C-alpha cells in the first residue's frame, strides 16, 4: 500500500471538525434525547414518531411523501408505517388519483398518541434550547433551514460547478 506524501497546502480531514459529521452526531444525540422521553412510555420508535408527527399535522400523505418530507429512507418509513397500521395508529386509504399509492392518516388512536407525545417532545425541545436566547434559537433555525435547502439543491444537481 502506498501513501501519498502530504504537502503544506494539503488539507487534512479531522472528523471531529468536519461539519457533516458534527451535524450527524448532533442529530443522533438530539433524536435519542427526545426519544428517551417517549419511547418507554408510549412504545414508539424514533421512526414511528416521525411518521406520527408528520401525519399529526393533519394532511393525509403517501409513504413516499413522508419519506421525502423527513429525508427518511423508504425502508424505514415502510417499517414504521407497517408497525403503526398493525397497532391501529395509522390508517391506509386508496389514493384517488394514483391506484398504486395509498394515503396514510392517523386513526383516532394515532391522533390521541400524537396529542400525548407532542407536548413531551416540545418540552424536551425547550429544555434543549434553554441556554439559547430567542434570537439565537431563531438564528439556528434559519441557518439549519438554509443548510437543508442547499443540501437539497446539491442533491438535485442545482448549483454544482461543471
The pLDDT tens digits for 30-79 are: 999 999 888 988 999 999 999 999 999 989 999 999 999 888 999 999 99
The CATH classification of domain 19-128, taken from the options 1.10.10.10, 3.20.20.70, 3.40.50.1700, 2.40.420.20: 1.10.10.10
Is pTM beyond 0.75? Reply is yes
Round the average pLDDT of the chain to a whole number and report it: 89
Query: What pLDDT, on a 0 to 100 scale, did the predictor assign at position 43?
Result: 92
For residue 90, what are the β-bridge partners? Answer: 106
**Helix (H/G/I), strand (E/B), else coil: 126:** helix
Percent of the chain with pLDDT over 90: 72
**Residue ranges of domains in the chain:** 19-128
Amino acid at each position: 500500500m502506498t501513501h501519498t506524501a502530504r504537502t503544506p497546502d494539503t488539507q487534512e480531514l479531522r472528523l471531529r471538525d468536519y461539519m457533516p459529521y458534527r451535524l450527524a452526531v448532533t442529530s443522533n444525540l438530539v433524536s435519542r434525547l427526545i426519544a428517551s422521553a417517549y419511547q418507554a412510555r408510549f412504545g414508539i420508535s424514533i421512526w414511528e414518531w416521525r411518521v406520527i408527527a408528520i401525519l399529526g399535522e393533519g394532511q393525509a400523505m403517501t409513504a413516499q411523501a413522508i419519506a421525502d418530507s423527513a429525508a427518511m429512507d423508504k425502508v424505514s418509513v415502510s417499517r414504521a408505517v407497517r408497525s403503526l397500521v398493525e397497532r391501529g395508529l395509522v390508517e391506509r386509504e386508496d389514493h384517488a388519483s394514483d391506484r398504486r399509492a395509498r394515503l396514510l392518516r392517523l386513526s383516532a388512536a394515532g391522533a390521541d398518541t400524537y396529542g400525548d407525545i407532542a407536548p413531551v417532545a416540545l418540552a424536551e425541545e425547550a429544555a434543549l434550547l434553554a441556554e439559547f436566547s430567542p434570537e439565537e434559537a431563531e438564528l439556528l433555525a434559519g441557518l439549519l433551514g438554509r443548510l437543508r435547502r442547499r443540501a437539497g439543491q446539491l442533491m438535485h444537481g442545482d448549483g454544482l460547478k461543471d
